[in-house]
């Protein structure tokens, strides 16, 4: 493979290679290997690749022994004290290069090395045996190569506060460990009737009942939570709760759920979407609901304030403060990758994941609420 290179790249990258002159036949047009500049006439061609100091050190670190029969220190590896130089880990110096070239940081040099074979290098580098220190003379010299076995998978770099399990800001310390509310906002779903189809004669919409799981899937497919107006609300909004898991358990399967069923209240189901609170505040402008009495509501309605979407009516009969509600003023258009899907169990999470994958919908993760409730 002919690698042509321009004078500018020779000047800036010349430490990585040696060149020789060549001349293009009239009419031939080539481009620089690195920058794609057009080249004509007398040109330079990469004749060999240099082993930089960084690459030399990486290769040298791999060479922990040699198999030179004339070497007093390593040649008699069959003796008891030399057993560590076992042939099961042998290879050539070039094999050691193959193990390490891809950690080179310079992308131009790395690309050059990725296409290199043994003949692309001149062996003019001082490699020595890592055990006895004898001089090695050829890329094909047989050596023992360092081998590392990983017993745990690679651990990604975690944020400082997670690595040390400490938070520096006082506000963060309070927010991170508080038990009265969550750092996430949850929108739960419930069974509903939805328009399934419309005919082209009288355009009569035909509805059908959907389960909470089906409603959740429809929301994911549309990438939208539609604003609506419920009891005690002055205007349409999208509602969320910041309840912690212990309070959600009470609302979904505990005493609160029992009272809701007995009093024909709204019954929620363990299906929904969970957003990070700070993300939702910034992206969708969600705010905590405001619980006001009739007199305070009149003041809001007669003013030019745009707070009506946040207002919840409160009196001796109605009190929804325990719902820890947050609201968005209009439809919430979201990307599924930004949400954690709430389902009852791990088995349902697997089933949902299969359906979502078939429809090319990817979510951030799953939270199997009922399985989690068993632990709290």
How do 365-368 and 340-343 pair as beta strands?
A: parallel
Q: How far, in Å, CA of 217 to CA of 375, rounded?
A: 27
pLDDT of residue 77: 46
* Residue 328 bridge partners (DSSP): 238
Other Cβ atoms closer than 10 A to 238: 21
pTM comes to 0.57
* Residue 238 bridge partners (DSSP): 328
Q: How far is CA 272 from CA 102, 190, 318, 352, 367, in A?
A: 44, 9, 25, 12, 10
Q: How far is CA 59 from CA 26, 263, 311, in A?
A: 43, 76, 68
Token duo for residue 97: 């290069």
pLDDT of residue 164: 63
Q: How far, in Å, CA of 140 to CA of 52, rounded?
A: 19
How do 30-31 and 38-39 pair as beta strands?
A: antiparallel
Length of the chain: 376
pLDDT of residue 211: 92
Q: What is the CA radius of gyration of the chain?
A: 34
- What averages of pLDDT result for each successive group of 10 residues across the chain (376 residues)? 88 91 81 88 89 90 76 52 49 86 88 87 78 82 75 67 64 73 93 77 77 93 92 89 94 90 87 95 95 87 82 81 93 96 95 92 95 92
């Amino acid at each position: 493979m002919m690698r042509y290179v321009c004078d500018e790249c020779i000047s800036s990258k010349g430490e990585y290679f040696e060149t020789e002159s060549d001349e293009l036949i009239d009419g031939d047009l080539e481009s620089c290997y690195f920058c794609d500049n057009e080249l004509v006439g007398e040109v330079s061609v990469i004749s060999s690749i240099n082993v930089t100091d960084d690459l030399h050190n990486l290769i040298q670190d791999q060479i922990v022994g040699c198999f030179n029969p004339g070497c007093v220190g390593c040649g008699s590896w069959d003796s008891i004290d030399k057993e560590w130089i076992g042939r099961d880990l042998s290879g050539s110096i070039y094999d050691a290069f193959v193990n390490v070239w891809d950690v080179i940081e310079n992308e131009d040099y790395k690309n050059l090395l990725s296409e290199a074979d043994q003949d692309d290098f001149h062996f003019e580098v001082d490699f020595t045996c890592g055990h006895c220190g004898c001089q090695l003379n050829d890329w094909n010299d047989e050596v023992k190569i360092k081998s590392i076995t990983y017993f745990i998978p690679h651990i990604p770099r975690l944020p400082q506060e997670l690595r040390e399990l400490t938070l520096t800001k006082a506000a963060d310390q309070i927010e991170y460990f508080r038990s009265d509310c969550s750092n996430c906002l949850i929108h739960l779903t419930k069974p509903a009737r939805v328009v399934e189809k419309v005919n082209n004669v009288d355009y009569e919409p035909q509805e059908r009942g959907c389960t909470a799981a089906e409603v959740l899937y429809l929301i994911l497919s549309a990438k939208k939570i539609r604003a609506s107006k419920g009891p005690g609300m002055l205007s349409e909004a999208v509602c969320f709760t910041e309840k912690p898991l212990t309070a959600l358990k009470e609302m979904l399967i505990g005493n609160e759920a029992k009272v809701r069923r007995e009093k024909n209240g709204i019954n929620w189901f363990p299906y929904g979407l969970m957003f990070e609170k700070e993300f939702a505040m910034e992206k969708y402008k969600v705010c905590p609901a405001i619980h006001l009495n009739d007199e305070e509501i009149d003041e809001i309605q007669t003013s030019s304030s745009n707070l009506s979407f946040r207002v919840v009516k409160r009196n001796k009969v109605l009190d929804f403060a325990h719902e820890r509600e947050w609201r968005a003023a209009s439809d919430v258009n979201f990307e599924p990758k930004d949400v954690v899907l709430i389902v009852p169990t791990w088995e349902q999470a697997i089933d949902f994941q299969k359906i979502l994958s078939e429809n090319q919908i990817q979510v951030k993760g799953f939270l199997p609420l009922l399985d989690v409730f068993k632990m709290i």
